[in-house]
Structure formats: structure tokens, C-alpha cells
Amino acid sequence: MLLPYVLTAAAFAQIRLLVANDLGRNGYYEQKPIAELMGRMAEQDGIEAVLALGDVHHFMGVQSVSDPLWMTNYELIYSHPELMLPWYPILGNHEYRGNTQAVIDYSGVSRRWQMPARYYTKVFKDDGASLRVVFMDTTPLIDKYHTDSIDYPSVQNEDVDKQLAWLDRQLADAKEDWVVVVGHHPIYADTPKSESERLDMQRRVLPILKRHRVNMYICGHIHNFQHISFPGDSTDYIVNSAASLSRESVKHVDGTVFASGEAGFSILSCTKVQLRLDMVNGKGETIHSVVKQTEGK
């Protein structure tokens, strides 16, 4: 039985979004209890949408819109009535091991799965507050995936420069109170994964985020919670933990504000004057919060 949890600060914001990633374990490990907790918290906090930041399907992605994994990894797991919300997904590296177009096309099967393209923008507005979320497709931005045509057969078909130019335009046009960019791969993080992943993201994406003074960059991929921030950098770099199986080993690196190996999810919320991200563990406890005020933009 799940332990009680405390109403988060997100419940008092105008815009409230649930952030989850690295989900699909066919209900094993902590996926089912965390999915139930996500539903209960969505009900209590008044969540309006879910940002699904990749790897909904471990380990080989899906082969079609009728692949049974859609039921065992998603539909039958996230079945709480309060999770019948719009889900805004992006592709993770595990989706790229299967049929990535099927992930997009599932939008035509499920009313809540709303993925118009590999990368896209969604603007949330409520009671005078506005938040732009820019959804990136980060796997093609990392060189090592382009050299593995067996495991990642469709990566090399993607135009890296086209996506980066699109990102620059989206951020240049942003007039909302808050701007958050989301992707699957981290820019900064403690991770046992190849350093080349982060170096490629730093080389390609980081200059664009800095140029437009993005408020937060949120990703998954590492399966633990991390918050990294640097003096003089307007962007907070967030790693959101896995909502199924976490990697408990995590250490502080340059810029680390907080790190935890617990599984869970986050709640992203805002008013016109405050942007907030609450990291929530599997017990429903808020273990760390990132808060930005208007004057800090």
C-alpha cells in the first residue's frame, strides 16, 4: 500500500504539469506503484498534462502502433482516471531501437498521446501565466548513435542542423513568462554513460540555450535525480529520475546542487512570477525543489 503524501506547492500554481520518463518496464520494478502515485498526485494537485521525456518503451522500442508493448508498458499501467490527460512525449534512445514513426503515429490511436512530430512546441496558458515547453529529439544530436546503424537504424535519416535551426527560432520567438526546453539526454550530469553524449549536447545545444537565456533544461536518460546550476548561467539543468527502475549510484559533479538515486517523477508548475520544479520520490515525498522568480530571469 502506498504511503500518504503531502500536497505539493504545485497545487497552488496556475499551470501544473507532471514530468516522467524512462518508464517502460512492463509493470515491473517500481513502475506500477509509481504509476498509481502519479494518478493520485494528478488528482490532488490538479495536473493538466504529462510531459513524457523518452524511453517509454524499454528496451527495443515498438514495431508498430499495435505492438503489445503499448498495452503492457503504457495503457494498462497508466490507467488511473486522473492520468487520462494529454501526454506530450518525445523519443528516447530506446524508441530509436524500434519504429520511431510508430511512436508518433500512435497519436492517431490514443486520444491522450499527443505527439505531432519528432520535435515540437507547446504553450500552456492559464489565468495570465504562460509557459512555453520546447520538445527536442536529442538522440540524433549525438554522434555515436549515427555510427550504429544496426541498433539505431533510423537516426542517420534525421537532419541535425535543421532541428538546431528550428530550436533557435522557437526560442527567439518565445514571448511567454517562462521557457523550458526538454530532451531525453542530459547536457550536464553525473553518469556512467559515454562522455561523448554530454559533449555533443554541450557543443550543439548549450550555446542556443545560453543565447536565449532558457529558464530550465529538463531531461531523463540517467535514471536518477540531479539538479545542476552554475553562477552566471540563467538555466537550471534538471535530470528527472526514472519512474520505474532507478540507478541509485550518483555523485556530485561540478555544479551539482542536489542528487538522489531514488526513482520517481517531477511536477513542473508556474505562476506569472514563479517557475517551480518539485522532485517527487516513490513515497510521494518532495525531496528537492527548484524555484525561479521573475526577477531572476
Q: Is the separation of the CB atoms in 102 and 65 below 8 Å?
A: yes
- Arithmetic mean of pLDDT, 268-292: 98
pLDDT at position 6: 54
Q: Model pTM?
A: 0.96
pLDDT at position 59: 87
Instruction: Give yes or no for residue 11 having a pLDDT over 90.
Output: no
Neighbours of 107 (CB within 10 A): 17
* Residue 58: band (very low, low, confident or very high) from pLDDT cuts 50, 70, 90: confident
Bridge partner list, 134 = 121, 181
Which DSSP string corresponds to 162-211? HHHHHHHHHHHH--SSEEEEE-SS-SS---SS-HHHHHHHHHHTHHHHHH
